[in-house]
Structure 1
Amino acid sequence: MQPTNTLRLPPVALTLACALVAHAALWPFRANDVDEYLIPWLEHIRHTGMIGAFATPFSNYTPPYLYLLAFASPLAAIFPLVTVIKLLSTAGSIALALAVWRLLRALDCAQPARGAALVLALPSTLLNAPFLAQCDAVWAAACIMAVAMAIERRHAPMLAWFGLAIAIKLQAAFLGPFVVALLINRRVSTRLWLIAPLVVLLTLVPAWAVGWPFGDLVTIYFRQAAYSDVLSLNAPNAWIIIQTLPLIGDLPLKAMAMAIATGASASYIAWLASHRLPARVIPAAALLAVLLVVGVLPHMHERYFFLCDILALSVALTRRDRTGWFIAVAVQAGSTLAILAYILDTQALAVLGAVSMMIATYQVALLLGFPSRADLSAKDDAGSTPTCAIIAWPRPMNARHRPS
């Protein structure tokens, strides 16, 4: 007999009510980045106009987020600037929840709305948008849509969404090994591969047309990469542990870290490209790619596991076993501890988060059989139990029971 999943998902209304209370509690906080970067950018847009603002470089972000900020700028006549920025970030969280709903629908999971609503109540989502006013949910939403398109074998839209995600934030490239492996696995025409870079370039055209120098636009990410030489900026990966060790943390380890990251990505691509890839294991395969890349790359920030948080929740919602929920909780704990380490300036929390994240990575690899040659089609089976189980709040005693 297969074990049953005793965890119930609350109704959407209850989840949204809890998320609303949490947003209200976190809203008054004002992060340093808001005053140092975001508010000056919004003020520039207000003073020079929604279109004229892009005539000259004024931000170290790529244009897509700035376009959204420009569209939201009229709200500054009604709300304080920080509120406008946080409203935009919260809109990104809503878009992310909708993307998760789309992914769950692609896998034909029951109660997709209840599962997707949980995105708005995740600790890392709450710390990201209403607390820090960050926009990670926007590029993560595009990545989740790319995964949903991969499940449906719609490769052109998948690459378009992936290109849009990269255009918003370079962190979306963490999903790159999964996308490349899937394209090789399914022998997708190389002509379609050009869709992603084409979308990236298209997002630059409006700013370039107004006057922003093209050379500056295409080098924004290179300038971002030169931000810091620290092995880990509170990212919950192995390097946060290593850099705290006496003597070892002072060694020039960047080249070795890059070599490890390259080797891990190549190994993952070779492994996934050579396996049959059932739709039901795609979220876990995508999760493993991001965990491996961010887990071994140097110079990562505390928020760079954000996509892992959402993919891990998706894995839990598309499985019926405790392993899926354990992975989701472990990833969420790792990310939340890292963000708290940044907020509280306590690196020890990031170290604890790294332990949790490494345990989660091991569990996902074990779940998929990485790096063995075992058939992935057998890795998510649980006897005759369907992959996507109905998970609902307990019904009243007199309610009619609907069979699974």
Structure 2
Amino acid sequence: MTNDTIETGALRNPYRRVNADRALPERWHIPIVIMLACGFAGLALRYLAREHTNSDAIQFLIPWYTFARDHGIGALAEPFTNYTPFYSYLLLIAACFDWLGQPLSLVKTISAIFELGCAIVVAQMVWRATRVPLRASMAFCSVWLAPTVLFNGAMWGQADAIWTFFTLLSVAMFMRNRNGVLPFAISCSVKAQGVFLGPFVLGMILRRKIHLAWLAAIPGAYAILAIPVLVAGRSLVSVLGVYLGQASTFHHLTMNAANVWVFAGATPYTVGVAIGLVLAAASGLALSIFIAQSKRTGPEFILLVACASLILMPYLLPKMHERYFYAFELASIALACINLRYLPFAVIAQVDGVLSYLAFESEIVMGLLPAALCNTFLVFYLVLDLRQGERGFRLPKLAWLGFIASTAGLFSYLLFAGAGLNISPAYMLTAGLAALMTLLLIKESRA
């Protein structure tokens, strides 16, 4: 074991090491102050958004919480949510603190706790990969204050931070050369979206020759987590049919997800579903084989292929919601903090996410097209990096300035134009310019 650590200021070579015996305590002062400041800022923003509501909260979240509060442990005998049993347990726990706040505030508290967990896991990823306190601190703050995280949990009270927490934990364990199948299994038991990491996990199982019997942990975790509701009297058919019921809820190829189906919206539903499933399965299998056969090593590579899995699946699959890029958005922050080459990826992912969220929040659907186009760029260049294995980067100031200005212009236009479809020359100009500057930023950031 060496006493070396990584030089904080080595931006262009984050792996250059210096002796840390005399410097480590001092090097933690500023990062800790930054984390505390951002931590309290995040709490303040969540407090301000505690009463913000939408149709999902009124129709689903608040009634679910109320049912759990009014029926207590007996609620477990009923399918009072359309989520897996794990979420029912969390609602029951939250209901024990009913005197602390309004129903929606307590539901949002569940999300906030797991958002904090996600921020801690990402910070741990970065710290173990770089040993740079400032980078770990920035990773924590970036996740805790990420616009899509605030949208998802603080404003909407959604549960995506829960499955993402276990997804990130799985990736973090694989980055440390440990078996991360169990947290992946729990992620899939929380929400079906946990399967987005499936190609990565399969690839790591094959790569490290982990026994295939570990795949039994996926149904096993679901079965174990379902024991309390089964004991309470809920039917086995109801418990096993959760994901089937979710899959049949909507019949649109995209539910505001900025993916490939934005470009193919006219495709017949059944045809699109079949094509999307085949594309996702083929791409996922190809990624798994690549991971298993690749000679590249190190935590950065492991995180890179995990990010590829987390963006490829929601990008190709039909019936995706705008929230389903959540895990990629947070994993890309970790990747950017480890290697600044991927800073544009993390920033662009946030911009695309907010554009998608606005489609549901304010019915500003015109942001989906440029968001889907920019996500296409991310997928292309992420896969390109997998093939080429490049790690260099640049910080192109003019490209960043152009990206910021064009993105601000696009948001200004969309907010001014409001809801509905309005493909005007001004829209084409602002959307096209934003997409062009996004592409330029990605290309110019690559050494």
**TM, length-normalised to structure 2:** 0.77
Tell me, in whole angstroms, the C-alpha distance in 2 between the residues paired with 1:85 and 1:216: 23
- Of residues 331, 352, 373, the one that matches 2:370 is 352
Which residue in 1 is equivalent to 2:71? Answer: 48
Q: Which amino acid aligns with 1:349?
A: G
SS for the counterpart of 1:57 is: coil
SS for the counterpart of 1:171 is: helix
Which residue in 1 is equivalent to 2:139? Answer: 115
Q: Give yes or no for the alignment of 1:273 onto 2:281.
A: no
Tell me, in whole angstroms, the C-alpha distance in 1 between the residues paired with 2:75 and 2:277: 37
* Alpha-carbon distance change, 201 to 248 in structure 1, aligned in 2, over 3 angstroms: closer
How much identity, in percent, do the aligned residues show?
A: 23
Whether the 8 Å contact between 1:147 and 1:283 is mirrored in structure 2 is yes
Residue by residue, what CA displacement relative to the aligned partner does 1:61-118 show, whole Å, maximum 9, x if unpaired? Answer: 1011111111110221231111111111111211111221232244243122332122
CA RMSD of aligned residues (A): 2.2
SS for the counterpart of 2:79 is: coil
Whether the 8 Å contact between 1:233 and 1:240 is mirrored in structure 2 is no
Whether the 8 Å contact between 2:186 and 2:221 is mirrored in structure 1 is yes
Tell me, in whole angstroms, the C-alpha distance in 1 between the residues paired with 2:376 and 2:362: 22
What is the CA distance between 1:28 and its match in structure 2?
Answer: 2.7
After superposition, where does 1:220-299 map in structure 2 within 5 Å? 220-243=242-265, 252-278=271-297, 279-299=299-319
Which residue in 2 is equivalent to 1:361? Answer: 379
Q: Give yes or no for the alignment of 1:131 onto 2:155.
A: yes
Which residue in 2 is equivalent to 1:153? Answer: 177
Q: Which amino acid aligns with 1:265?
A: G
What is the CA distance between 1:149 and its match in structure 2?
Answer: 0.6
Q: Give yes or no for the alignment of 1:37 onto 2:60.
A: yes
* Alpha-carbon distance change, 356 to 25 in structure 1, aligned in 2, over 3 angstroms: farther
Which residue in 2 is equivalent to 1:400? Answer: none
What is the CA distance between 1:180 and its match in structure 2?
Answer: 0.4
Which residue in 2 is equivalent to 1:386? Answer: none
Which residue in 2 is equivalent to 1:392? Answer: none
Tell me, in whole angstroms, the C-alpha distance in 1 between the residues paired with 2:235 and 2:296: 43
SS for the counterpart of 1:117 is: helix
SS for the counterpart of 2:250 is: coil
Tell me, in whole angstroms, the C-alpha distance in 2 between the residues paired with 1:133 and 1:253: 30
Q: Give yes or no for the alignment of 1:305 onto 2:325.
A: yes
- Of residues 14, 32, 38, the one that matches 1:15 is 38
Q: Which amino acid aligns with 1:276?
A: K
Tell me, in whole angstroms, the C-alpha distance in 1 between the residues paired with 2:86 and 2:163: 10
SS for the counterpart of 1:305 is: helix
Which residue in 2 is equivalent to 1:187? Answer: 209
Q: Give yes or no for the alignment of 1:28 onto 2:51.
A: yes
SS for the counterpart of 2:323 is: coil
After superposition, where does 1:319-330 map in structure 2 within 5 Å? 319=339, 321=340, 323-330=341-348
Tell me, in whole angstroms, the C-alpha distance in 2 between the residues paired with 1:257 and 1:20: 39
Tell me, in whole angstroms, the C-alpha distance in 2 between the residues paired with 1:4 and 1:154: 29
What is the CA distance between 1:266 and its match in structure 2?
Answer: 1.8
Which residue in 2 is equivalent to 1:394? Answer: none
Residue by residue, what CA displacement relative to the aligned partner does 1:152-193 show, whole Å, maximum 9, x if unpaired? Answer: 1211xx111011111111101001000001101111112333
Whether the 8 Å contact between 1:76 and 1:84 is mirrored in structure 2 is yes
Q: Give yes or no for the alignment of 1:334 onto 2:366.
A: no
Q: Which amino acid aligns with 1:347?
A: V
Q: Which amino acid aligns with 1:4?
A: R
Question: Which structure carries more relative contact order (alpha carbon 8 Å, separation 6+)?
Answer: 1
Q: Give yes or no for the alignment of 1:4 onto 2:24.
A: no
Tell me, in whole angstroms, the C-alpha distance in 1 between the residues paired with 2:263 and 2:313: 17
Tell me, in whole angstroms, the C-alpha distance in 2 between the residues paired with 1:120 and 1:202: 31
* Alpha-carbon distance change, 65 to 251 in structure 1, aligned in 2, over 3 angstroms: closer
What is the CA distance between 1:217 and its match in structure 2?
Answer: 0.5
Please list every run of 5 or more consecutive structure 1 residues that lacks an aligned counterpart in the other structure.
Answer: 383-404
Whether the 8 Å contact between 1:174 and 1:293 is mirrored in structure 2 is yes
Residue by residue, what CA displacement relative to the aligned partner does 1:333-360 show, whole Å, maximum 9, x if unpaired? Answer: 1111111111111221122211121111
Tell me, in whole angstroms, the C-alpha distance in 1 between the residues paired with 2:237 and 2:269: 36
* Alpha-carbon distance change, 277 to 172 in structure 1, aligned in 2, over 3 angstroms: farther
* Alpha-carbon distance change, 347 to 379 in structure 1, aligned in 2, over 3 angstroms: same
SS for the counterpart of 1:107 is: helix
Q: Which amino acid aligns with 1:361?
A: V
Whether the 8 Å contact between 2:332 and 2:345 is mirrored in structure 1 is yes
Whether the 8 Å contact between 2:251 and 2:269 is mirrored in structure 1 is no
Whether the 8 Å contact between 1:231 and 1:300 is mirrored in structure 2 is yes
Tell me, in whole angstroms, the C-alpha distance in 2 between the residues paired with 1:106 and 1:145: 13
Q: Which amino acid aligns with 1:262?
A: A
Tell me, in whole angstroms, the C-alpha distance in 1 between the residues paired with 2:138 and 2:201: 28
Q: Give yes or no for the alignment of 1:100 onto 2:101.
A: no
Work out the number of aligned pairs and report it: 365
**TM, length-normalised to structure 1:** 0.85
Whether the 8 Å contact between 1:237 and 1:358 is mirrored in structure 2 is yes
Tell me, in whole angstroms, the C-alpha distance in 1 between the residues paired with 2:231 and 2:75: 12
